[in-house]
Chains A and B, each alone.
Chain A
């Protein structure tokens, strides 16, 4: 079993090496951000040429079947395009993320092939954001928070800088999620998770009942 401390440092180093600030615009992370935030087709093409052959090799390794491996490339790279806005830098590298998408598609493809019950899908087994789905920010919640703005400003400075920056973009500059992500050069998914964490922390600090 990997000790927790080691696992944390592993993930921290994964994060560091992918920190969007100051990373070259050709890193897989930057490309994914471009695909997710403004549907950048050139960036998608680069990711495609970087990963399609690797996903094919992974498919061969896991299924031993060339046709399935071809199908996997199509399904996995489609997922990369569709889910790019959900990519969250705070949860790991582009490569790990693309791996988990490919693994999930592979799992589903194999079950479909073996005609196994459709009640189980990869999304049930590996939820994207454990315990956080259905917490899409509720406008009313936000309004009630914003009415306590004086307090909020006092508490806001106690948040981690990254979360402060996101809250500033959304509530001070009144930007859309997409515009804020672009301004901060982070993936939309990361913006949303930082916003969620930041507002959750604020609620705690202010003592708003959840």
Chain B
């Protein structure tokens, strides 16, 4: 946690996070980064103050007295004296030779049960259904593995949980929050192995080699995953 973190969510993203406007998948990724990054923790507090000023200052279209009938029932309710947090069933992910402790938000979603699938090139992934706007997954890249060249139709956020990976633009280490925009083509690889949490707001398009064959399937899967939510 003390090592330097080089990549962070930008101010706009943190503002939207503080306002509660982002889909759950994206919010989970930011929450996990914020837990690991003191700078972003401070900035989130500031963003919450700003959001509170902006959102609770809006012109009043309905008078408070119209809600007065609610008070009698509310004050009959018991108060909460202690912070209650249910411990997550899963707190860490076991890798080949060590275990990785997960940030709380990720531990919670991992507790729902991860089903790991092997992809080509030493990549394993476990998909999660968190909302109907994003596709989320834990990605494990074995030491020496490489993801085939691909680009995204939307944005991709990758939070490095453990280890490191690199692409044409740089090297990313534990707690880094990496954003890749639409049409950015890249070929991430990892020397030492890497565990990530990735959030995509649209399917990946593979552009080279046999992996291209995956494209139609990939789109189908994304549609299915999101359609299931919308039912």
- CB pair A124 B108 closer than 8 Å: yes
Asked if A205 is an interface residue, CB under 8 A from chain B, the answer is no
- CB pair B75 A103 closer than 8 Å: no
Find chain A residues with CB under 8 A from B105 CB. 124-125, 127
Binds A, one of B42-50, B117-125, B154-162, B174-182: B42-50
- CB pair A53 B63 closer than 8 Å: yes
- CB pair B46 A11 closer than 8 Å: yes
Asked if A39 is an interface residue, CB under 8 A from chain B, the answer is yes
In the assembled complex, how far is the CB of residue A67 from the closest CB belonging to chain B, in whole angstroms? 12
Interface size, chain B (Cβ < 8 Å): 64
Interface of chain B residues 152 through 208 with chain A (CB within 8 A): none
Binds A, one of B77-85, B93-101, B212-220: B77-85
- CB pair B64 A7 closer than 8 Å: no
8 Å CB contact of A2 from B43, B51, B59: B43
Interface of chain A residues 4 through 58 with chain B (CB within 8 A): 4, 6-8, 10-11, 14, 36, 39, 41, 44-45, 48-58
Asked if A204 is an interface residue, CB under 8 A from chain B, the answer is no
Asked if B150 is an interface residue, CB under 8 A from chain A, the answer is no
- CB pair B49 A1 closer than 8 Å: no
| Contact A54/B60 with A86-B80, A116-B229, A133-B85 known, Cβ cut-off 8 Å | yes
- CB pair B80 A85 closer than 8 Å: yes
Binds B, one of A72-80, A154-162, A163-171: A72-80
Asked if A152 is an interface residue, CB under 8 A from chain B, the answer is no
- CB pair A58 B56 closer than 8 Å: yes
In the assembled complex, how far is the CB of residue B90 from the closest CB belonging to chain A, in whole angstroms? 12
Q: Indicate the member of B78, B85, B229 with the most A CB atoms within 10 Å.
A: B85
Q: Indicate the member of A52, A85, A106, A134 with the most B CB atoms within 10 Å.
A: A52
Asked if B227 is an interface residue, CB under 8 A from chain A, the answer is no
Q: How far, in angstroms, from A36 to B60 measured CA to CA in the complex?
A: 27
8 Å CB contact of A120 from B48, B58, B130: B130
| Contact A56/B75 with A117-B130, A130-B41 known, Cβ cut-off 8 Å | no
Find chain A residues with CB under 8 A from B92 CB. none
- CB pair A73 B70 closer than 8 Å: yes
| Contact A55/B56 with A74-B70, A130-B35 known, Cβ cut-off 8 Å | yes
Find chain A residues with CB under 8 A from B63 CB. 53
Q: How far, in angstroms, from A7 to B229 measured CA to CA in the complex?
A: 39
Find chain A residues with CB under 8 A from B39 CB. 1, 4
Asked if B129 is an interface residue, CB under 8 A from chain A, the answer is yes
Q: Indicate the member of A52, A78, A124, A131 with the most B CB atoms within 10 Å.
A: A124
Asked if B57 is an interface residue, CB under 8 A from chain A, the answer is yes
Interface of chain B residues 10 through 56 with chain A (CB within 8 A): 10-11, 14, 18-21, 24, 27-28, 31, 35, 39, 41-43, 45-49, 51-53, 55-56
- CB pair A57 B60 closer than 8 Å: yes
Q: Give 17 A-B contacts (CB < 8 Å), ordered by A residue.
A: A11-B45, A39-B79, A44-B71, A49-B64, A51-B64, A57-B58, A60-B61, A61-B55, A83-B80, A92-B45, A92-B48, A99-B55, A117-B131, A119-B130, A123-B85, A124-B108, A125-B31
Excluding A53-B64, A81-B75, A188-B81, 6 further A-B contacts by CB distance (< 8 Å) are: A48-B68, A49-B65, A52-B70, A62-B20, A82-B78, A103-B18
Residues of chain B touching chain A, judged by Cβ–Cβ distance below 8 Å, are 8, 10-11, 14, 18-21, 24, 27-28, 31, 35, 39, 41-43, 45-49, 51-53, 55-65, 67-68, 70-71, 74-75, 77-83, 85, 87, 104-105, 108-109, 111-112, 129-132, 229-231
Residues of chain A touching chain B, judged by Cβ–Cβ distance below 8 Å, are 1-2, 4, 6-8, 10-11, 14, 36, 39, 41, 44-45, 48-58, 60-62, 70, 73-74, 77-78, 81-86, 91-93, 95-96, 98-100, 102-104, 106-107, 111, 114-117, 119-120, 122-134, 136, 188
